[in-house]
Chain A
Amino acid sequence: MSTDGFIETTDLTKLYETGTVEVAALRDVTLSIDRGRFVGVTGASGSGKSTLVNLLGGLDSPSSGTIRVDGRLISDLSKKELALYRRNTVGMIFQSFNLVNAYTALENVAFPLLFAGVAKKERRLRAREVLRTVGLEARADHRPAELSGGEQQRVAIARALVNEPRILLADEPTGNLDSKTSRQIIETLSGLNRHHDLTVVMISHEQDLLREFAHELICLQDGAVVGREAMGERS
């Protein structure tokens, strides 16, 4: 199997200071993820999974080491360049959905386009289109409080997709959902990975589901990669 190193981390380390104590959330993590792969990340709480996703998403900066995405050195970008990277290259979804409660589903999905300078009419058109992709067009005018957990997460997925990113980072997207809905969400992500050539990095405790849908499983422990498991090619 050939590798293209679409996402590459080298000796990636993230340290946090709590008082006088320095805690390593990630320590010397070296990874390579190919374009169009579905990679599951698993590990116990505090193992550094969210830190890894935040660093890959450009929400946080590493203490040392490098991150390259499609050959571009992300770890050295300025704050403004990181914002543009988040806007154009990655889409993120979270365990707690992180939707704006005052907005409708449509407005939440259109939110990233606002910062991309897209005109209002175009924003609404594109947002409706993506909502249709995740099967929520009928719920476009509902606010998050009027949607189920699964629907909220699908709105969050639609929001992550609206800027047509190349990478989808999912931080425990099924953590607040029942098993049936969790499966539906992972199926949705898997479908996007397969049909839209989207590189997906998903954190989850549900290793069985990850083994079923992901190409590869990375196991973290105390901020270090302790295991990698390839699940083989899927059609």
Chain B
Amino acid sequence: MRIADYIEQAGGNLWKKKLRTILTTVGVVIGVGALVSMFAFGQGIQKNITEQFNKVDLFNYINVSTRDRSGEPGHSHDPDDPDAGAMDDAAAPADANDSDAPALDAQFLEEARRIEGVETAFPEMRFPAQICLGEKEQFTLVQVLPANLLRSGPLPLRSGRCYDPCEPNELIITDSLLRRLGVNEPSEALGKEIEVATVTLDFSLTNLLRMVFSSGDQGLPFARKGYRFTIVGVAERLPFGGMGDVYVQPEAAGGMRKLSLTSIWEFFRPAGEAANYSTVTVRVRSPKYIAPVKKELESRGFRTFALMDQLEEMRTGFLIMDMFLLAVGMIGITVASLGIVNTMVMSILERYREIGIMKAVGATDGDVQRIFLFESGVIGLLGGLFGLALGWTVSMVINEVINGLMARQGAPRMDYFSFPWWLCLGAIGFSILVSLAAGIYPTLRAARVDPVVALRHD
């Protein structure tokens, strides 16, 4: 028999029992639809996370910290960190003589920038501040980010421009913080003056006297200091928290008195000693430079951390999530495949005599088996196509609902479902495969029919 004849036979035979075919196919449609939606959700989440990491260039960064400053940031005391003990031992000679220990200072930044593959290196700095726009105030984190890094695209701008390296008092704010400050239209904020008020330690004589003679919580050595900036750009707030809500240049941050979250130890630095950073961020030109640059930095006695290292763990996590979603989706497919088995067995019982006729006129067992297998396959094909359409439609509806709810909380719009080509083709292929598998037992039964008995059958 020809392939075209098998298909025509299958289509014709299924069409003769329209209702039963439609009901069986609907079962497959629902099963495939559920499976596709689940998988598309898993893919969507993975895609969003990976894209956001790529968007903020997180795979191109290496965090560098010192190994030797006991009690300072960068020194690992994490009992879960297998390197911690080894590092302490390795750092022991450096502890004996602090001046020999590698330091994260301006000279390191210069040296790091000369390593092959390094685009730039800058100290990691983030500090808390009170942001005042008109009469409204919000407490948030200010991220220090050089202009050249900002231009490379980690922050999608909704309005305005990137700040000018020659204008240190220019600032970028996120749309989310802007809304909290009462400005809903990003373009309205451009050019406006905004105050960034920092908290600093104040050991001045006046403050010390106030500490001595005051009671309760008034006696802390803190002081507030305000700095004026001009808003030149409004950025989207990055999902998963992002880096902060306000971005300023290192030149501006350097002139501000502030309590840095990552360099509190700097406040206890002896006067006259050169400024050391607790952490420096090194940006490489592409992820392929991560490994050699890390190796180079570690050989110089620094600790490094790159998110790239975590990628494999993330992939394993995604795989587990996919397997879980697949297992849930398979329930529907399993039920649908039982429906196919039932339909095919019924069809064979009804056409018992016809099978006898087929054999009497020269059909082989293989011909009979393939005729019924094609019928199963056609159910699978239709179920796959319509199931894909159903899964896509349901996913789009759910996506709109979630985005509607998330928009109320100021979250940016996201596609929570992803339908890569391989998922679409895979769903149809899988549906056909499951249907064929479901058809194996009934078709074997059909092939084994004794023609003599079948021809006598009423």
Contacts and interface: CB of A to CB of B under 8 A. Distances in A.
Contacts of A99: 357
A235 B373 CA distance: 51
A112 B357 CA distance: 9
Contacts of A80: 364-366
B300 interface: no
Given A92-B360, A159-B361, A59 B452 contact: yes
A120 B1 CA distance: 11
Contacts, number: 66
B5 A87 contact: no
A102 interface: yes
SS class of chain B's interface: helix, strand, loop or mixed? helix
Residue picked from A60, A98, A114, most chain B C-beta under 10 Å:
A114
A79 interface: yes
A172 to B, nearest CB: 12
B361 A112 contact: yes
B432 to A, nearest CB: 23
A110 to B, nearest CB: 10
A163 B363 CA distance: 13
Interface string A87-109: 11000101000111010000000
A138 interface: no
Nearest to B360: A92
B123 interface: no
A87 B363 CA distance: 7
Contacts of B16: 102
A1 interface: no
Interface residues of B, number: 24
A21 interface: no
A83 B362 contact: yes
B363 A83 contact: yes
A147 B359 CA distance: 24
Interface in B415-435: none
A98 B360 contact: yes
Nearest to A100: B354
A117 B364 CA distance: 12
B353 A98 contact: yes
Contact-residue bracket for chain A: 20 to 34
A115 B362 contact: yes
A134 interface: no
Nearest to A160: B361
Contacts of A114: 1, 5, 9
Given A80-B364, A98-B353, A100-B354, A86 B359 contact: yes
A69 to B, nearest CB: 15
Nearest to B9: A114
Residue picked from B16, B361, B363, B366, most chain A C-beta under 10 Å:
B361
B365 A115 contact: no
Contacts of A111: 357-358, 361
B136 interface: no
Contacts of B332: none
A48 to B, nearest CB: 13
Contact of A117 (B1, B353, B356): B1
Interface in B1-55: 1-2, 4-5, 8-9, 16
Contacts of B365: 79-80, 83
Nearest to A50: B452
Residue picked from A84, A86, A99, A117, most chain B C-beta under 10 Å:
A86
Interface in A26-63: 54, 57, 59-60
B16 to A, nearest CB: 6
A57 B360 CA distance: 8
Nearest to B363: A115
A120 B5 contact: yes
Contacts of B356: 98
B455 interface: yes
Contacts of A112: 361-362
B364 A88 contact: no
Nearest to A111: B361
A16 to B, nearest CB: 11
Given A54-B452, A94-B455, A119-B2, A59 B364 contact: no
Contact of A86 (B2, B4, B8, B361): B361
Interface string A158-190: 010001000000000000000000000000000
Nearest to A102: B16
Given A60-B452, A115-B367, A120-B5, 16 more contacts: A54-B452, A57-B360, A79-B365, A83-B359, A83-B367, A87-B362, A88-B362, A92-B361, A94-B455, A98-B357, A98-B455, A114-B9, A115-B363, A117-B1, A120-B4, A163-B361
8 contacts: A57-B360, A83-B365, A86-B362, A98-B357, A102-B16, A111-B361, A117-B2, A163-B361
Interface of A: 54, 57, 59-60, 79-80, 83-84, 86-88, 92, 94, 98-100, 102, 111-112, 114-117, 119-120, 159, 163
